[in-house]
Amino acid sequence: MISDYSDHLIVQEVSPRDGLQIEPTWVETHDKIALIDQLSLAGFSRIEAGSFVSPKAIPALRDGELVFKGISRQPGVIYVALIPNLKGAQRALACSVDELNLVMSASQTHNLANMRMRCEDSLAAFGEIVQFVGDSPVRLNASSATTFGSEAARHEQLGESPSPPQSTTRNADARPFEQGEQRQALEQWLRQIPDDPAELLRRKFWYEQQRRQETPR
């Protein structure tokens, strides 16, 4: 059990990278810079300002160098770039990025779709980046995507999850969730836990919702 809690909550703003990369309309470089500059003044201590991936893979962020060189850096703000491989790290360091975010997925399926490589290849690429950075003052962090499961992997590896048992019709004299057979069915459904933690959380959340709805006030 965790007993040593920090007094600080760190919020990393990722809209300049995670938000803009899926925009169907091209966002001009000067508008990206303006967005990041305003976020810097809003009080965020960490901003993921872009990524250095292949322009063919993410054309919306192909101007990463211009963005990082054009922003007005504020004291105390860490400007982060997402990096998939050594080439991306080399481009980032040339732009004086404060921190490299090395990302891989916990799901093999998602990593292949998102990073165009297997998890073990991403891990090997991390090693190359760490060696390249060496004694550079740039910070490194590693992120694990889809740690609590990915929808693509769930459908491919586990198939569709079973549906929760249906409650009988409510009336003023009966609370179906509290009936023995219904409770037993729910508990059996919860015990059929897949290897996907996200599915477990979904079932537990549904279970607690039912308990709150059926508890008299």
Q: Smallest Cα–Cα separation from 49: which of 57, 59, 38?
A: 38
Can you give the pLDDT at residue 18? 93
Helix (H) or strand (E) holding 105: strand 99-105
Q: What is the fold of 12-148?
A: TIM Barrel (3.20.20)
Helix (H) or strand (E) holding 99: strand 99-105
Residues of the chain where predicted confidence (pLDDT) is lower than 50: 1-2, 158-162, 164-179, 193
Longest Cα separation, the chain: 72
Can you give the pLDDT at residue 109? 84
Coil vs helix vs strand at 144: strand
Can you give the pLDDT at residue 8? 74
Can you give the pLDDT at residue 48? 97
Can you give the pLDDT at residue 169? 36
Q: Smallest Cα–Cα separation from 114: which of 22, 11, 214?
A: 22
Q: How far is it, in rounded angstroms, from Cα 168 to Cα 175?
A: 9
Q: Tell me the helices (H) and strands (E) count for the chain, helix number first.
A: 8, 5
Q: How far is it, in rounded angstroms, from Cα 89 to Cα 77?
A: 20
> What b/e sequence results for 69-101 when a residue is b if at least 16 CB atoms lie within 10 Å of its CB, and e otherwise?
ebbebbeebbbbbbbbbeebbebbbebebbbbb
Can you give the pLDDT at residue 135? 87
Reported pTM: 0.68
43, 77 Cβ separation under 8 angstroms:
no
Query: What residues contact 174, with CB distance under 8 A and at least 6 apart?
Result: 168
Domain ranges of the chain: 12-148, 161-214
Can you give the pLDDT at residue 59? 94
Can you give the pLDDT at residue 91? 96
Can you give the pLDDT at residue 172? 38
- Report the relative pairing of strands 139-145 and 46-51 from DSSP bridges: unpaired
